[in-house]
Amino acid sequence: MDIKGLQFAIFGMGESGVDTAEFLLRRGAQVRAVDRKPYEELKPDHARRLVAAHIPLVLQGESALDNVDIALLSPGVPPKLPLFEEARRRGIRVTGELEFCSHFLHGPILGITGSNGKTTTTSLCGHLLKESGIPVQVGGNIGTPLAAMLDSSRDDQWNVLELSSFMLELADTLHVAIASILNITPDHLDRHGSLENYTAAKRRILRNQTPLDAAVLNAGDALSHESASFTKAAVHEFSSGGRVERGFWREGPDLIANGEFWMPRSEVQLQGRHNVENVLAAGCCAHLAGAPLSALRRAVADFPGVEHRIEFVRELNGVRYYNDSKGTNVDATIKALESFESGIWLILGGRDKASDYTPLRPLIEARGRGVLLIGEATPIIDAQLAGISVPVTSCGDMAAAIAYASARVVPGDVVLLSPACASFDQYSGYNERGRHFKSLVGQLEEKG
């Protein structure tokens, strides 16, 4: 695609937006950065890079569309804003970063989406391929934005990408050679409007597959399993609950690959049934990409997990502290709760995403010692948990929640941050939230 001389307006100056702007500039395009914030309110490094590249920044509004050929939307920018209807009325092409950047990417895509487990499965899949000697680079919604992967991409290299519903929403021509939908449960309904719309966005990962491609679906998740009818690819499945026709599954203490013993569950370091599913999905994807089972077994056994996903922080006075800041929806928090038998002090809350928190009630009552609420969603969650047998306390912020829990825990308890909410009321993202939790936990002192 020849873009030399075309005028682009890139909406959203997060990391991926800045990377995309720099890439376009290197390819000879004219670039305009657009954001709701002025330079001084952007992250300092992002502002510095725009200034260094002489990329002008204009505030989001109709004037940002003047003389523009293509409007590129960062994933965090909702495509249904009236501004983009105006852009289309003017004849401006409106597209997303994923859709646009994929045209410049060399090598096949192994794409992973789902409501939960994307980051762990994507990271693990990249690790499996690398340890198997297969050229790979990993990014997308985690780590390296796609625009920053383009120059290093090669025809003989796999691009393992975590793909969110926000990224897939505008993906019209994206071709994913191996596509996995891990699960689909209600999330981001504040943006998508309904579970049906959210599901449709996820299924766009399958949109342009051919019979030569592969789709890896979850036999135990209804919406993932039913996605088979939306692809022309060969369907493989994974299951933590028993045999599938073709794919990877758990059978008692063992993990099975296409009917062949692969490895014992005991060699997997990751905690929880959901992580067994992540291992099965990643193993299936990596095997389809050419990795032998023997190499995959060694690589799985070496994989410790990812930051902010039921991440063990420390044990203090017989109490274990876990950071699951990436648990930003109710289903993720359910999976985190299922990973522990009892004695859980659960830190919940943040920015609500039009979620229903009532499914948490049975697990909290069965395994919890206390619920500590933080952030904007406090009154919503408090109302939906009203009447449960476990105390629910409004703490306001993270520091107060940890102080409250640490004053009441006893040996054998677990303090778990798994908020079931977005972080943007008090933090810049789940990374900052999780690291704040870990910092505060690290400052707790031994009891004499």
Which residues are marked as active site? 118, 141, 188
The full length of the chain comes to: 448
Sheet (strand 260-264) strand order: 136-140, 158-162, 109-113, 178-181, 214-218, 234-239, 247-251, 254-257, 260-264
User: Cβ–Cβ contacts within 10 Å for residue 225, how many?
Assistant: 19
State the DSSP code for 101.
Answer: H
CA 89 to chain centre: 33
Q: Answer yes or no: are the C-beta atoms of 134 and 110 closer than 8 Å.
A: no
Strand 214-218 vs strand 234-239: parallel, antiparallel, or unpaired?
parallel
Pick the closest to residue 261 from 234, 296, 289 (CA basis). Answer: 296
The identity of residue 28, as a single letter, is: G
DSSP string, 232-293: SSEEEEEESSS--SSEEEEETTEEEETTEEEEEGGG--S-SHHHHHHHHHHHHHHHHTT--H
Burial class (CB in 10 A: 0-12, 13-18, 19+), 73: buried
